[in-house]
């Protein structure tokens, strides 16, 4: 949800550095972009509708300054226009601001500052106008502090003031990380934006501000005092965050499942056992996450039931308020998130903490807000996931939930062995022939406007997840159903040739799923069976390895590839689906 980037340091091509950094944050928002710096004592601003990847650094080559700020937008308040793009600036053109999040009291602040002074429809412009107003009476730093005191909502901001050679950034609820280079600093929404310059970072916490010139000073906004920060070295390589030989990040990340699952299960045994004990002793265990991470939680619900004989309550994070009144100190909330910044998940965590319940998080983004605000956090180590559609994070999260379930029944070693075998079978499965075959299946169904996916037991959540993948990247109307639910209504949707994907495993419910598939076929459906074994009901059979209860981990992969190829064959960019952004930091 919007990417922000600021640079200050020895280099004079700050605008080019900012644009390159924003291009690495494009997955966070891609409807418009903008940059600001100071040239000859004047504010220089360039803002444009369109993708930041289309911006040319050469256009800024002769604009020299040692600091600059920039933004790539996913619109919330105000349409997609040049004026609504960030940076926003004060009427006197002294203050420029980039903002990620939502200022909830912006209407009130607009009234206070005089509506006629505003030129955009955004909530963010109030930040620039407010700082400029205070700046008339106090220092830049005090003006930012005074303005922040008046803001309600979630934000990460980076601010510059013409005539002052430093940047100020602050956060509440939206991510902001400081990359610490050699005499230079980077302020960004995510680490890959500056990985080519430094792997050393400081995380800005909520209600903290940072002043960056030749040095860096962190200030707690509540106490007004300086805060000491630990410099953290991030174990990510710049190339890991690039597309490399692949046409799209989505395909690259699907292929990375060859080894990402192995990294996920390579966790400290004592820690996993401790977490398993915490879950066992909890009175009321809740799972929550959003979108794909929510479907992972549902799969976890089945793993916990089938492997550990333990009941858990799942609700998507946006629906979690319905459970708030059940939370008590003995409860445990398990949250799953790739980005570690999802606003609805953070709200669920706040509710749990307010009742003194414990929170365990399973996240990909190390050092993210969700990770840092949890009582226990497991890092899935999937590496940067940049395609908007989540793929490798989901399988790693499922692997970890399955591992925890085995630890709860003292079978951790066996669980680890089984999952390592699953990873090795996925490695074999993801070969070039397999990809060519799936592309050919995608070719057959790409022009249909509807597609249904069925699964039963642990594969039911995967039917829902497959539908999300197909919807979001190919814009085909896809829906997932519990196989047994078809006859209660959805089967009326099926007509001659409707593509229906059946997720089948070699498990106790296999025959039921096959019978439901036969019911679909009898109504004219074109059946794509994803299964370890061939069956005559399948028009197309996608063979997957037989991995028992771990079947969701292998069955989901062909659906990710189908979604990818349908999108590509329909001429779409699967990395940047319309209306979406990675990391949903607004409610
Ligand atoms: C779909 C997708 C989203 C995310 C959801 C939660 O492919 O990526 O549905 O799963 O927005 O995001 P995280 O996992 O970052 O909390």
CATH number at residue 321: 3.40.50.10490
Pocket residue to mutate for ligand 1, from 342, 347, 391, most atoms within 8 A of Cβ: 342
* Residues belonging to the chain: 587
Same-domain status, 279 and 407: yes
In short, whether 389's Cβ falls inside 6 Å of ligand 1 is yes
In short, whether 584's Cβ falls inside 6 Å of ligand 1 is yes
Pocket residue to mutate for ligand 1, from 1, 291, 370, 395, most atoms within 8 A of Cβ: 291
DSSP states along 194-232: GTTT-SEEEEPPTTEEEEESSSEEEEETTT--EE----E
pLDDT at residue number 128: 97
Catalytic residue positions, numbered: 2, 582
Same-domain status, 232 and 261: no
Task: Mark which of 245, 262, 279 sits at the end of a domain.
Answer: 245
pLDDT tens for 454-475 read 999 999 999 999 999 999 999 9
Report helix, strand or coil for 62: coil
Say whether pLDDT at 578 is over 90: no
Q: Which residues, at least 6 apart from 497, have a Cβ–Cβ distance to it below 8 Å? A: 448, 524, 525, 526
Same-domain status, 424 and 465: no
Say if residues 525 and 515 touch (Cβ distance below 8 Å): no
Nearest CA to ligand 1 atom 5: 291
Same-domain status, 217 and 322: no
Q: Which residues of 14-43 are buried (b: 16+ CB within 10 A; e: fewer)?
A: bbbbbbbbbbbbbbbbbbbbbbbbbeeeeb
Provide the token pair at 310.
Answer: 């333990």
Compute the distance between CA of residue 542 and CA of residue 43 in angstroms, rounded to an integer.
58
Nearest CA to ligand 1 atom 7: 389
Task: Mark which of 216, 245, 274 sits at the end of a domain.
Answer: 245
Compute the distance between CA of residue 307 and CA of residue 380 in angstroms, rounded to an integer.
21
| Full domain range(s) for residue 268 | 251-430
pLDDT tens for 232-250 read 888 777 767 778 889 999 9
Q: Which has more confidence, 414 or 58?
A: 414
Ligand 1 centre and the CA of 398: distance in Å?
14
- Number of structural domains found in the chain: 3
Compute the distance between CA of residue 500 and CA of residue 524 in angstroms, rounded to an integer.
10
Same-domain status, 347 and 450: no
Same-domain status, 473 and 382: no
Residue ranges with strand state E in 9-106:
32-39, 42-49, 67-73, 88-89, 95-103
Do β-strands 153-161 and 167-172 pair in parallel, antiparallel, or remain unpaired?
antiparallel
Same-domain status, 156 and 200: yes
pLDDT at residue number 239: 66
Helix axes 392-408, 257-265, angle to 10 degrees: 30
pTM (2 d.p.): 0.85
Provide the token pair at 62.
Answer: 């002769």
Same-domain status, 262 and 228: no
Say whether pLDDT at 560 is over 70: yes
Provide the token pair at 324.
Answer: 């708030």
Percent of all residues in the chain with a pLDDT value above 90, rounded to a whole number: 86
In short, whether 382's Cβ falls inside 6 Å of ligand 1 is no
Give rounded-to-5 percent helix, strand, coil for the chain.
40, 25, 35
Write the secondary structure of 465-502 as one string of H (helix), E (strand) and C (coil).
HHHHHHHHHHCCEEEEEEHHHHHHCHHHHCCCCCEEEE
Same-domain status, 416 and 456: no
In short, whether 339's Cβ falls inside 6 Å of ligand 1 is yes
In short, whether 291's Cβ falls inside 6 Å of ligand 1 is yes
Pocket residue to mutate for ligand 1, from 287, 292, 382, 384, most atoms within 8 A of Cβ: 292
Which helix (H) or strand (E) segment is 353 a member of?
Answer: helix 343-354
Q: Bridge partners of 454?
A: 481, 502
Instruction: Determine the average pLDDT of the residues in 153-165.
Output: 95
Rg of the chain (C-alpha set): 25
Compute the distance between CA of residue 143 and CA of residue 165 in angstroms, rounded to an integer.
16
Same-domain status, 399 and 443: no
Same-domain status, 401 and 288: yes
Q: Which residues, at least 6 apart from 58, have a Cβ–Cβ distance to it below 8 Å? A: none
Q: Bridge partners of 101?
A: 155
Compute the distance between CA of residue 499 and CA of residue 418 in angstroms, rounded to an integer.
33
Task: Mark which of 377, 403, 430 sits at the end of a domain.
Answer: 430
Same-domain status, 230 and 256: no
Q: Which residues, at least 6 apart from 515, have a Cβ–Cβ distance to it below 8 Å? A: none
What CATH number does the domain containing 228 carry?
3.60.20.10
pLDDT tens for 379-428 read 999 999 999 999 999 999 999 999 999 999 999 999 999 999 999 999 99
């Amino acid at each position: 949800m919007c990417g922000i980037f600021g640079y200050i340091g020895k280099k004079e091509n700050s605008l080019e550095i900012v644009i390159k950094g924003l291009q690495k944050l494009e997955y966070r928002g891609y409807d418009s972009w903008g940059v600001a710096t100071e040239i000859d004592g004047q504010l220089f601003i360039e803002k444009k509708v369109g993708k930041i990847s289309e911006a040319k650094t050469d256009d800024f080559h002769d604009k020299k300054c040692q600091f600059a700020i920039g933004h790539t937008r996913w619109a919330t308040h105000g349409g997609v226009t040049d004026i609504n793009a960030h940076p926003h600036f004060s009427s006197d053109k002294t203050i420029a601001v980039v903002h990620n999040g939502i200022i909830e009291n912006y209407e009130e602040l607009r009234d206070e500052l005089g509506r006629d002074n505003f030129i955009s429809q955004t909530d963010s412009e109030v930040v620039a106008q407010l700082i400029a107003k205070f700046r008339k009476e106090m220092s830049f730093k005090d003006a930012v502090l005074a303005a922040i005191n008046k803001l309600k909502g979630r934000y990460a901001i980076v601010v510059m003031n013409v005539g002052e050679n430093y940047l100020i950034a602050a956060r509440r609820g939206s991510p902001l990380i400081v990359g610490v280079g050699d005499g230079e600093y980077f302020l960004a929404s995510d680490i890959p934006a500056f990985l080519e310059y430094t792997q050393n970072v400081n995380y800005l916490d909520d209600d903290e501000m940072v002043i960056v010139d030749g040095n860096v000073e962190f200030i707690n906004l509540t106490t007004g005092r300086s805060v000491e920060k630990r410099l953290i070295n991030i174990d990510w390589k710049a190339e890991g965050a690039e597309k490399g030989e692949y046409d799209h990040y989505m395909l690259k990340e699907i292929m990375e499942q060859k080894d990402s699952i192995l990294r996920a299960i390579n966790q400290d045994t004592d820690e996993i056992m401790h977490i398993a004990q915490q879950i066992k002793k909890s009175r009321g265990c809740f799972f929550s996450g959003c979108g794909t991470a929510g479907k992972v939680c549902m799969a976890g619900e089945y793993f916990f039931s089938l492997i550990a004989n333990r009941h858990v309550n799942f609700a998507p994070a946006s629906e979690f308020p319905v459970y708030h009144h059940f939370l008590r100190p003995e409860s445990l909330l398990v949250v799953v998130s790739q980005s570690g910044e999802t606003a609805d998940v953070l709200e669920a965590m706040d509710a749990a903490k307010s009742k003194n319940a414990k929170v365990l998080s399973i996240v990909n983004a190390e050092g993210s807000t969700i990770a840092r605000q949890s009582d226990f956090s497991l890092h899935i180590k999937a590496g940067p996931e940049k395609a908007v559609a989540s793929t490798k994070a989901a399988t790693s999260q499922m692997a970890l939930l399955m591992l925890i379930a085995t630890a709860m029944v003292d079978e951790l070693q066996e669980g680890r062995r089984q999952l390592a075998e699953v990873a090795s079978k996925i490695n074999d499965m993801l070969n070039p022939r397999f990809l060519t075959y799936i592309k050919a299946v995608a070719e057959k169904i790409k022009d249909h406007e509807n597609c249904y996916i069925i699964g039963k037991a642990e594969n039911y959540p995967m039917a829902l997840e497959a539908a999300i993948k197909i919807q979001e990247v190919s814009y085909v109307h896809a829906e997932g159903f519990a196989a047994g639910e078809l006859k209660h209504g959805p089967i009326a949707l099926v007509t001659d040739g409707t593509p229906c994907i059946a997720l089948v495993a070699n498990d106790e419910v296999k025959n039921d799923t096959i019978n439901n598939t036969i019911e679909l076929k009898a109504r004219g459906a074109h059946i794509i069976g994803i299964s370890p074994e061939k069956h005559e009901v399948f028009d197309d059979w996608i063979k997957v390895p037989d991995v028992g209860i771990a079947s969701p981990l292998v069955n989901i992969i062909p659906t990710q590839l189908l979604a990818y190829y349908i999108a590509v064959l329909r001429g779409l960019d699967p990395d940047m689906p319309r209306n979406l952004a990675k990391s949903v930091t607004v409610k």
